[in-house]
Structure 1
Amino acid sequence: MKIVTLPAFHVVGYSLEATVEEFESGLGKSHYDKLVERKKEIHHRKNENVMLMQIYPMNEDFNAKVDKFTHLIGYEVTSLDNFPSEMISHDVPVSQYATCTHRGNESEIGDTYDYIYGQYLGETGHEPKCYDFEIWDERYQPESPNNEIDIYVALQ
C-alpha cells in the first residue's frame, strides 16, 4: 500500500445503482461491454483504461454487500465536450488515495477491499472518503490468476 495524491479528473460513462452482488451477477459486465463497444463515441479519452468508480452513501450503517450504491463505469477524459447523451460525466476532485494492486481472479477482489477498509485504514489512521475506484488496463483479465487491478481509496 502507498499513499498518492492525484489531480482532479473527469470520467464519462454509465452509472448504475446496485449492491455488490447485483453488480457482480451481470450488471457490471453488461455495462462494461456496452461501454467498450461505444468507446469511440467518447471523445478526449485520456487512455484505453476502463475505470470502475464506486460511490458510497455516507451512512454509518452502510454495508456494500447488502445496500445499493453508485457504480460508475467509464473512461477518464481530458474534456467533457461532446459525450453521448445517455452517458453521464463525473468530476473527481484532487485527493489523496491509498493505493494497491489486487493480483488474482477478480472474484477474490473482495478480500483486498476487506484488507484495505478493515485493516489498513484503521492501522494507519487514515479516514476514507465516500468513494474508491479501480483501473482496468491491459493487465485486466478477470478470470485469470494473472489478473491485476489497481485500487485507489480516496482519503479524507
Structure 2
Amino acid sequence: MELSEPKIVELDTFKIIGTKYFGKNQHDELKKLWNSFYPRMEEIKNRIDEQKSYGICKLFPGSSKFSYISSVKVANSEEVPENMICKIIPFSKYAIFTHKGSLNSLGQTYEYIYGIWLPNSSYEHSTLPDIEEYDNAYCDPNLDEYVINIYIPIK
C-alpha cells in the first residue's frame, strides 16, 4: 500500500444529517448502518452535494468504542428525518489522505496515518472527529475498489 503525502487544508464549519452508531463494530455494524442509511438519503432536505456522503468518526482515547455517523452535508437543519441526528462540524485544519482499494484494507490506511505519518509529522491530532468522504458513485457494495478521502483533524 502506498499513500502520498496528505494535502493540508482548512474547512469551514458545516452541518451534517445522518444516522449514528456507537460501539466497536464487532459484527459489521458500520456496513449495516450505511446499508440502512443510503435508501433514506432522499428524505434529507437541503443537501449540499448529491454526489457525496460522509462518515464522521469520533474516537475515544483509552476505549475501543467509537461513535460514527453516516451522513450528508446540509445547508440547514430545519427538518431532520425521524431517527436521524444533526451535527455541526466546526472549522478546523485537516490532513487529507486518499484511500484507494477495498474496504478490507481501510484499516491499513488508518494504521499508516496514526502509526507512521502522524507521529513523524509536525502535527497533532485535534479532538474533532475524523471524516471519511465518499463519492456515492464509488459506494456500491459490489465494488472491489473504493476511493475514500480521509480527513484527519490536526493542530
> Considering the TM-score relative to the shorter chain, is it more than 0.5?
yes
Q: In the alignment, does 2:150 pair up with 1:151?
A: yes
- 1:51–1:134 contact (8 Å) kept in structure 2: yes
Unaligned runs of 5+ residues in structure 1 are none
Which residue is 1:2 aligned to? 7
Q: Deviations over 1:31-68 (max 9, x none)?
A: 212211111210011113121110122x3x34xxxx11
Which residue is 1:80 aligned to? 77
| Number of matched pairs | 147
Please report the TM-score for the alignment, with normalisation by the length of structure 1.
Answer: 0.86
Trace 1:6-85 onto structure 2 (pairs within 5 A): 6-19=11-24, 21-22=25-26, 25-48=27-50, 49-57=52-60, 59=61, 61-62=62-63, 67-85=64-82
Q: 1:142 to 1:100 in 2, by over 3 A?
A: farther
- 2:103–2:145 contact (8 Å) kept in structure 1: no
SS of 2:49 mapped into structure 1: strand
Q: 1:148 to 1:7 in 2, by over 3 A?
A: same
- Separation in 2 of the partners of 1:50 and 1:124? 28
Identical amino acids, percent of aligned pairs: 28
Root-mean-square deviation (CA), in Å? 1.6
- Separation in 1 of the partners of 2:65 and 2:145? 30
Among 86, 89, 103, the alignment partner of 1:89 is: 86
Letter in 2 for 1:50: S
- Separation in 2 of the partners of 1:113 and 1:77? 27
Letter in 2 for 1:124: S
Higher mean C-alpha deviation, range 3-12 or range 39-48: 39-48
